[in-house]
Structure 1
Amino acid sequence: MRTVAQAVARVLADAGVEHGFTVPGESFLGLLDAFARTPELTLVSTRHESGAAFMAEACGKLRGVPAVAMASRGPGATNLSIGVHTARQDHTPMVVLLGQVPSTKLGRESFQEVDLAAMFAPLANWSSQPTSAAEVPGAVAEALARATGPRPGPAVVAVPSDFWDEPFPGPLPVPEPPPAEAPDVAAAAERLGAARSPVVITGARDRASHRELVATAEELGLAVYTGFRRQDAFPEDHPHFAGHLGLSVPGAQLKALENADVVLTVGMRLDEVTSQGFRFPLPEQDHLRLPPSALAELRARTPGRRRDLSAAHAAVREFMTPPELDATSAPHPTEVVRELRRLAPRDAVVTNDAGNFSGFAHRYWCFTEPRTQLGPCNGAMGYAVPSAVAAKLVAPERTVLAMVGDGGALMTGQEIETAVRHEAPVVVVVFQNGLYGTIALHQVKSNRPMSAVDIGAVDFAGWARSLGAAGHTVDTRDQLEPAIRRALAEDRPCVLDVRIDPDVLTADARLADFLES
Structure 2
Amino acid sequence: MTQATAASDTTGFSTASEYPLRNGGQILVDQIRLHGTKRVFLVPGESYLPCIDALNEHKGAIEPIVCRQESGAGYMAEAYGKLTNEPGVCFVTRGPGATNASIAVHTAYQDSTPMILFIGQVGGDFIEREAFQEIDYRRMFGEMTKWVAQIDDTSRIPEYIARAYQVARSGRPGPVVLALPEDTLWGEAQVADVKPHPRLMTYPGQPQLDELKRLLASAERPFLLVGGSGWTRDAQVALEGFAERFDIPTGVAWRRLECVDAELPQYAGHVGMGMHAELRQQLVESDLVIAVGTRIGEATSEGYSWIQSPVPTQKLVHVYADPEELGRVYQPTLAINTDVNGFALALSTLSPDSAPRWSDITRAARTAYLATLEEQPSPGPLSLDKVSLTVDRILDGKGCITVGAGNYALYAHRYVRFRGLGSSLAPTVGSMGYGLPAAISSKLEFPERPAVCYAGDGCFQMNMQELGVALQYRVGIVVLVFNNGMWGTIRAHQENDFPGREIALTFTNPDFAALVTAYGGLGQVVEKDEDFEASFTRALEFADRERLPALIELRYDPDGIAPGKLLSGIREDALARNATTAQAGV
Using the size of structure 1 for normalisation, the TM-score is: 0.95
Residue among 25, 42, 54 paired with 1:22: 42
Residue among 73, 87, 100 paired with 2:108: 87
What's the offset of the Cα at 1:183?
A: 2.4
**8 Å Cα contact 1:189-1:302 kept in structure 2:** no
Query: Per-residue CA shift, 1:48-79, capped at 9, x if unaligned?
Result: 00000000011111111112111111100000
**8 Å Cα contact 1:190-1:302 kept in structure 2:** no
Cα distance change of structure 1 residues 152 and 161 upon mapping to structure 2, 3 Å threshold:
same
Give the distance between the partners of 2:540 and 2:441, measured in 1 at CA: 18
In structure 2, the residue matched to 1:186 is 207
**Seq. identity, %:** 31
Aligned pairs for 1:165-184 (under 5 A) are 165-176=186-197, 182-184=203-205
Give the distance between the partners of 1:6 and 1:185, measured in 2 at CA: 47
What's the offset of the Cα at 1:177?
A: 7.5
What's the offset of the Cα at 1:358?
A: 0.5
**8 Å Cα contact 1:206-1:233 kept in structure 2:** no
Matched, 1:323 2:372: no
**8 Å Cα contact 2:236-2:260 kept in structure 1:** yes
Matched, 1:487 2:539: yes
Query: Per-residue CA shift, 1:406-441, capped at 9, x if unaligned?
Result: 001111011111011101100011001101001101
In structure 1, the residue matched to 2:567 is 511
Instruction: List runs of 5+ in structure 2 lacking aligned partners.
Output: 1-20, 320-337, 576-586
Query: Per-residue CA shift, 1:240-278, capped at 9, x if unaligned?
Result: 112211312233102332233332222333222112223
Cα distance change of structure 1 residues 267 and 177 upon mapping to structure 2, 3 Å threshold:
farther
Matched, 1:37 2:47: no
Give the distance between the partners of 1:145 and 1:443, measured in 2 at CA: 44
Give the distance between the partners of 2:316 and 2:460, measured in 1 at CA: 43
Q: Secondary structure at the match of 1:103?
A: coil
Cα distance change of structure 1 residues 35 and 345 upon mapping to structure 2, 3 Å threshold:
farther
In structure 1, the residue matched to 2:423 is 372
In structure 2, the residue matched to 1:438 is 489
Aligned pairs for 1:40-79 (under 5 A) are 40-79=61-100
Matched, 1:211 2:237: yes
Give the distance between the partners of 1:75 and 1:119, measured in 2 at CA: 12
Give the distance between the partners of 2:23 and 2:205, measured in 1 at CA: 46
**8 Å Cα contact 2:376-2:385 kept in structure 1:** no
Give the distance between the partners of 1:229 and 1:64, measured in 2 at CA: 17
Give the distance between the partners of 2:449 and 2:210, measured in 1 at CA: 38
Letter in 2 for 1:504: G
Aligned pairs for 1:359-508 (under 5 A) are 359-448=410-499, 449-490=501-542, 491=546, 492-508=548-564
RMSD: 1.9
**8 Å Cα contact 2:268-2:279 kept in structure 1:** yes
**8 Å Cα contact 1:95-1:144 kept in structure 2:** yes
Query: Per-residue CA shift, 1:480-503, capped at 9, x if unaligned?
Result: 111101101012211111112111
**8 Å Cα contact 1:216-1:296 kept in structure 2:** no
What's the offset of the Cα at 1:43?
A: 0.5
Give the distance between the partners of 2:31 and 2:77, measured in 1 at CA: 17
Q: Secondary structure at the match of 2:108?
A: helix
Q: Secondary structure at the match of 2:455?
A: strand
Letter in 2 for 1:475: E
Residue among 381, 404, 408 paired with 1:357: 408
Instruction: List runs of 5+ in structure 1 lacking aligned partners.
Output: none
Equivalent residues, number: 515
Identify which range, 81-90 or 280-289, moves more after superposition: 280-289
Give the distance between the partners of 1:458 and 1:335, measured in 2 at CA: 25
What's the offset of the Cα at 1:471?
A: 0.9
What's the offset of the Cα at 1:388?
A: 0.5
In structure 1, the residue matched to 2:8 is none
Letter in 2 for 1:296: L
Cα distance change of structure 1 residues 81 and 153 upon mapping to structure 2, 3 Å threshold:
same
Cα distance change of structure 1 residues 251 and 325 upon mapping to structure 2, 3 Å threshold:
closer
What's the offset of the Cα at 1:180?
A: 6.3
Query: Per-residue CA shift, 1:131-188, capped at 9, x if unaligned?
Result: 2222233212211111001110110100102211222311112344796665234323
Matched, 1:259 2:285: yes
Give the distance between the partners of 2:134 and 2:235, measured in 1 at CA: 43
**8 Å Cα contact 2:400-2:451 kept in structure 1:** yes
Q: Secondary structure at the match of 2:186?
A: coil
